Structure 1
């Protein structure tokens, strides 16, 4: 399809519909918002005209007030700002629903990247058998996290779902009713959600989207790729972090973990029960009917008449389904066989756990906890005295002498009790939900082999002799990524860990953090460092006979590893192990990329296709040449130096604190986690979480983490008269081209006229210029590199979506900057604390719509 055709489809199915339904919404008679619907379009137009004339947000709002709010008090002006925010965030919901409804018109679900296209390609290339073999050992794992990058409460998500369905059916009466409901539904969460609340929110997606889509994909693979045969393992699996992710979240307790695991089991049993009920209406055959009725009864009791008891085991459920299938084949002409097979596939996919509940904790917590455990052990066994003062090498040797059993109740220290209890609850979950219910423990900020070996020792100290748990190091910073291979070599050559790996099938999962990697090293260096680390870890693991699996911690925007994710995986060559694609999906990425059956299937199939492309169609593809590596290395180093100097600028942290919304993220009640890891009031860059860091740049419409340093690196090659080398790299390397295209997405979502007034600020003017100049240089050179005249020229519908969303939220952003300016004035002059609180509320409220509008960053 030509770009113009995609743009026309977008205009017809999204833009025009939005204009129509927004005109209905904006004229609805809401008693509490008076003439807001009339004034907002006028303010929006004034914003666009004002920025075109280099006016500041203050000048724009003051001009609007003088023109349309003459004689109004400050309180009345504040009221209209709040009402504008309310309207804009609802307009974003409307646009979300329209885009979701148009997804099948804008995307070919059977086209490039789909399983249908992949199967046809394999058959036409005589690779059908090879495709079957590849899928016997490959799968994708999507891990849902509760990271707070979307602000919609559950009630609003429900309206989006219903509105999407009504728009698909062109049901104008229902659309109008839902828009009225939307206008009267609160977007505010009066209190922070608990980790259990977050789990319940994400369970909706498991039950209503992933369950059926995963079953349908598995059924397609079984029927059309294996010709009704059965693969050795499911090609899909799900992971789950709410209730298990303890890193920096003191509200995740063992009790919460147990409750979430129990709810996951109840949810999957309820899904099976609903499927069995539907099958009961069809499987009315002799010998089959009684088996179905028996399953229905036992599942019903387990879901609705149970306080934790299960009245059917997983083997019993499987056995009954296999008997039903055999009877249908042998005696009933295979009637409804596909439906039975799909349910069997779901049971094989999800067991009694639905999604594996991952446990995660920071290495610094483990180090502290283990030290206190050793101090207590040393009081009764002098041989372990002085452990905490040993070198890392001696500590590793000393761990071999440990044969002690500890109990959480032996300790008064809450952090020790909590850490040991989290291990105990893993055993409990495995007993109730099966081993896969909770068999992964992730150690974030892994900086040494000792971080993993001490965890293994703690697992054994709790009486778990051969713990059925995968220990997963998470490497995040540029320095940790550089050391990752050396750390893993120490683990692979450690006798105790080697034995543990052998018991785990010689499979090692390694997690790599894009978000914190970018925060630490800048966009280009983070991505290149992860690529190199994967290559080194692949070579090392192959050397030791270990099957390595890479788990990527990704967010939505390119600055956090998002963007065109499937292209990133398709660009990895044979030097990077391709056994699984494991990724985190979070916040707006869940709702935008996996929130409906169509989007979920499209994106899951694209991930599968990316793995298949590498493992089947391009498995003999030439890897990066030495020359290309040298170019990438130099570009990354140049970018890293520029970003590091920027990060170390004396105005860097003060700029975020005083000029951005950073300090307001913690007050939004959108997630259970604190906004930073440390407890000190002083802002420490290293404690700052990636989400508020990236989000704050996004609110400024500067998107620094997605481009800063890239332009400098390209400009250096241009000055050295080596531009053709970079151009050749872009043309020949899908990996580099994908990075460039994703950076273009970050640039396209930047809007510097919003903050151009800062260039005249006495304290931060030159710092703003520094950012803006790098933006202009990066934009210029990426356009030159791609040959485009506009950013994202090869994704015209995506670009059109971004521009529409930016148009919708511009009034909100203007109000946010106006309020931030007022806050700075009030603080500078030390007057009217009551007014300060009001403007701070405006800033907090304005965060919501802007982040939600960025869902297409994923």
Structure 2
């Protein structure tokens, strides 16, 4: 479809329908809603005009109120602004639903069915089919849901969106109006901070309503397209889960909450099974099936509604009885309704008794403290604390890997206690759902081999045995320095006698997690991308040297600044030097709702990742494996970009600018996450303690998106001035990896708008700092447009561009209100009560702005 056609379709199917249906808000039986909706277009136009004229937010808001006598009192003005915020929040929901309902018409017209197309070609080409089948036998896609708060819809709102999409798809005006009424009455915010268990329950909505159904459907399609028996296709789609297990920087996650989440996931899964089973039993009423169905009835019902305190893994029993039903149907009843049984078999094969693998994550410093605590408390370990805390060589040499069972005192540090308790708890979780229920321990901020070896020893001191240590130890390398050391760390592990034995027991497979958002915060956008890519090349080479099956787990987050963007294109362009047999990545916040929030979008995006993994090996492009010269050019540009970013980071106003002019402080007041905004929350803010999600969110609220572009323009300018532009141009045209980096950068920039904060250039303290940020934005824009031969950002992605711009227009009033409140707090004398109201107003604007940004993923 031509670009002009795409624009036309998007305009008709999304923008026009959104304008049509948003008028229904004016018919809702809520007087304040109708009044607000009538005034909102005038307010939005006034804000847009003021921003275009680069007026200060106080000028924009005050001049609007000056036009109407009913807003003389400050109390009336504040009340109006809060109502505007509530109204726009619901407009964002409507836009989400309209866009999702038009998915087939406008979403990915050129790419729909691309996996099926590959399979159909394979049917006509036996050699290609064999290659695909062989690839699928050692390939999987694992999507790991995290609780990072980059999207704030509560569960009830997600359910409304789902129903609204269906109603919009059928143009059911009556139901649309009813659902909008429900939306008008449904709260968008939590009165209290959610617990880790609350976060898990919220994300479980997607497991139950989307992934449970889609995974089986995709498996069924692959069986059919490749004409394979159901037993011949291994599990291709895996799910991971962090809420309740990810304790890094979150003191609210405890062994008890981990246990509750594991039990909850199991119970929800069995209720899914039970619903399917009831439909199956209504159809299968034939002789010979009763004994199997009766046993399954008891299994599903009891686990759904009367779960045991310490359940056992019933997967094998369930499958044996389902296979029994299937055999009876095939041999005695002409295979009638056998497809219902096969569907449930696929689901049980995929989800077992656990639903999703619960990952445990903790920072290396906590694990070191726990190791040191046990050494100090137990002299019988024959370990000298000074020895194992001195040089890295001594640590690696003296860790004994003994199975001596060690205890701990109840008055020990609570993080030490939690670490030791969760290590023991993992045994119970595995008993209830097999080792797939919880088999990975991720070490954040991993800096040395002893961080892994010491954790392995903690397991052995907690009752685990070497021969049955069914745990994968996953180092997470995030900072630029950690990424540069990653290869040396892994070489030390592969050459360690005990660890190499452990690897062999685990199928000779090693998972390595590579961070992203912290890498961006640490080294800037271009250096973060390049450091991770370079580390993958080095880590792959070492793994191949030691014959280790390497799995990369990418902390790719949601927006480009956190590693997201054109994810499937990234994985399709890894080249020969990077292990890509398995695709594993984190998904979170708006990425979950925008890409996996409905059955259609989830199916499409999972199939895209499957297709990317297949073609990256079977149909590699020559340009995806970089030449020595290309690597040198990118490396030089990355260092130029890094220097530029580091000069920004070291600027004395860097953190002060964020604290003063962005809603960073209010992030801690918004009840969106159980995780604190920063580590060491009681102390003065330091950049290293600021969580990456808060860092990226603050810049996105400013509409400056620094983590997604800063330094790129400087690097490209350097390349041109040093006669390397032809190499850069060639990279953009031939390397899928490099093109994805630049395209994602353009996506971040499209969501930036320095006109909103243009008033800051006149600020005595921050004016020059703002100009420095704006200048790098303009420089980067100039060069990425030149590189992509475009006249506007995202020119090659007209639908995504139109969606971004439409959403930005919707939330512009929210941003104006937000900056108005921030400036008022800074410039006006207020009572404590007034300050609290303005802080609440800022916090409320954050929700709508973030939710509207879903398409950055």
With structure 1 as the length reference, what TM-score do the two structures score? 0.97
Q: 1:200 to 1:401 in 2, by over 3 A?
A: closer
Q: 1:373 to 1:834 in 2, by over 3 A?
A: same
Q: 1:339 to 1:403 in 2, by over 3 A?
A: closer
- Paired with 1:38 and 1:27, the residues of 2 have a C-alpha distance of 11
**In the TM superposition, what are the counterparts of 1:201-280 in structure 2 within 5 Å?**
201-231=202-232, 233-280=234-281
**In the TM superposition, what are the counterparts of 1:841-856 in structure 2 within 5 Å?**
841-856=840-855
State the match for 2:85 in structure 1: 85
Q: CA deviation at 1:687?
A: 0.8
- Paired with 1:743 and 1:27, the residues of 2 have a C-alpha distance of 41
Matched, 1:472 2:488: no
Q: CA deviation at 1:326?
A: 2.0
Matched, 1:39 2:39: yes
8 Å contact from structure 1 (residues 115, 609) kept in 2:
yes
8 Å contact from structure 2 (residues 543, 550) kept in 1:
yes
State the match for 2:630 in structure 1: 628
Q: CA deviation at 1:233?
A: 2.3
- Paired with 2:605 and 2:179, the residues of 1 have a C-alpha distance of 28
Bigger Cα displacement from structure 2, 474-483 vs 4-13: 4-13
State the match for 1:393 in structure 2: 393
Matched, 1:818 2:820: yes
8 Å contact from structure 1 (residues 407, 420) kept in 2:
no
Q: CA deviation at 1:310?
A: 5.4
- Paired with 1:620 and 1:24, the residues of 2 have a C-alpha distance of 53
8 Å contact from structure 1 (residues 509, 548) kept in 2:
yes
Q: CA deviation at 1:311?
A: 9.0
> What per-residue deviation string (whole Å, max 9, x for no partner) do you get for residues 121-172 of structure 1?
4345540111000000000000111111111122211211121111112110
Q: 1:135 to 1:416 in 2, by over 3 A?
A: same
* SS state at 2:67 partner: helix
Bigger Cα displacement from structure 2, 427-436 vs 473-482: 427-436
State the match for 1:137 in structure 2: 138
* SS state at 1:98 partner: helix
8 Å contact from structure 2 (residues 713, 779) kept in 1:
yes
State the match for 1:705 in structure 2: 707
* SS state at 2:283 partner: coil
* SS state at 2:510 partner: strand
8 Å contact from structure 1 (residues 477, 516) kept in 2:
yes
State the match for 1:519 in structure 2: 521
* SS state at 2:672 partner: coil
**In the TM superposition, what are the counterparts of 1:586-597 in structure 2 within 5 Å?**
586-597=588-599
Q: 1:6 to 1:370 in 2, by over 3 A?
A: same
State the match for 1:782 in structure 2: 784
Structure 1 gap segments, 5+ residues each:
none
- Paired with 2:385 and 2:170, the residues of 1 have a C-alpha distance of 72
* SS state at 2:82 partner: helix
- Paired with 1:314 and 1:776, the residues of 2 have a C-alpha distance of 58
- Paired with 1:471 and 1:18, the residues of 2 have a C-alpha distance of 48
Matched, 1:837 2:839: no
* SS state at 1:360 partner: strand
- Paired with 2:311 and 2:300, the residues of 1 have a C-alpha distance of 8
**In the TM superposition, what are the counterparts of 1:285-296 in structure 2 within 5 Å?**
285-296=286-297
Q: 1:564 to 1:382 in 2, by over 3 A?
A: closer
| Aligned partner of 2:505 among 500, 503, 506 | 503
8 Å contact from structure 2 (residues 388, 394) kept in 1:
no
- Paired with 2:508 and 2:623, the residues of 1 have a C-alpha distance of 27
8 Å contact from structure 2 (residues 269, 354) kept in 1:
yes
State the match for 1:66 in structure 2: 66
* SS state at 2:584 partner: strand
State the match for 1:455 in structure 2: 455
- Paired with 2:322 and 2:8, the residues of 1 have a C-alpha distance of 48
- Paired with 1:312 and 1:405, the residues of 2 have a C-alpha distance of 26
State the match for 2:105 in structure 1: 105
> What per-residue deviation string (whole Å, max 9, x for no partner) do you get for residues 475-506 of structure 1?
00011000000000001111111111111111
* SS state at 2:378 partner: helix
State the match for 2:856 in structure 1: 857
Structure 2 gap segments, 5+ residues each:
none
Q: CA deviation at 1:305?
A: 3.2
- Paired with 1:623 and 1:723, the residues of 2 have a C-alpha distance of 20
Q: CA deviation at 1:9?
A: 1.7
Matched, 1:768 2:767: no
Bigger Cα displacement from structure 2, 499-508 vs 155-164: 155-164
- Paired with 2:476 and 2:837, the residues of 1 have a C-alpha distance of 41
Q: CA deviation at 1:13?
A: 1.4
- Paired with 1:381 and 1:325, the residues of 2 have a C-alpha distance of 55
Count residues in correspondence: 854
Matched, 1:557 2:556: no
Matched, 1:528 2:561: no
- Paired with 2:299 and 2:511, the residues of 1 have a C-alpha distance of 37
Q: CA deviation at 1:731?
A: 1.1
* SS state at 1:568 partner: helix
Bigger Cα displacement from structure 2, 49-58 vs 772-781: 49-58
Matched, 1:76 2:90: no
- Paired with 1:376 and 1:516, the residues of 2 have a C-alpha distance of 35
Bigger Cα displacement from structure 2, 226-235 vs 535-544: 226-235
State the match for 1:638 in structure 2: 640
* SS state at 2:659 partner: helix
Q: 1:375 to 1:38 in 2, by over 3 A?
A: same
Bigger Cα displacement from structure 2, 740-749 vs 312-321: 312-321
Q: CA deviation at 1:24?
A: 1.4
| Aligned partner of 1:484 among 483, 486, 489 | 486
State the match for 2:668 in structure 1: 666
Q: CA deviation at 1:205?
A: 0.8
* SS state at 1:753 partner: coil
- Paired with 1:264 and 1:418, the residues of 2 have a C-alpha distance of 21
State the match for 1:372 in structure 2: 373
8 Å contact from structure 1 (residues 362, 444) kept in 2:
yes
State the match for 1:122 in structure 2: 122
* SS state at 1:127 partner: helix
- Paired with 2:771 and 2:627, the residues of 1 have a C-alpha distance of 38
- Paired with 2:408 and 2:297, the residues of 1 have a C-alpha distance of 41
- Paired with 2:205 and 2:79, the residues of 1 have a C-alpha distance of 35
> What per-residue deviation string (whole Å, max 9, x for no partner) do you get for residues 460-483 of structure 1?
001101211000000000110000
Q: CA deviation at 1:69?
A: 4.4
- Paired with 2:113 and 2:365, the residues of 1 have a C-alpha distance of 41
8 Å contact from structure 2 (residues 565, 744) kept in 1:
yes
* SS state at 1:566 partner: helix
* SS state at 1:581 partner: strand
Matched, 1:94 2:94: yes
8 Å contact from structure 1 (residues 302, 311) kept in 2:
no
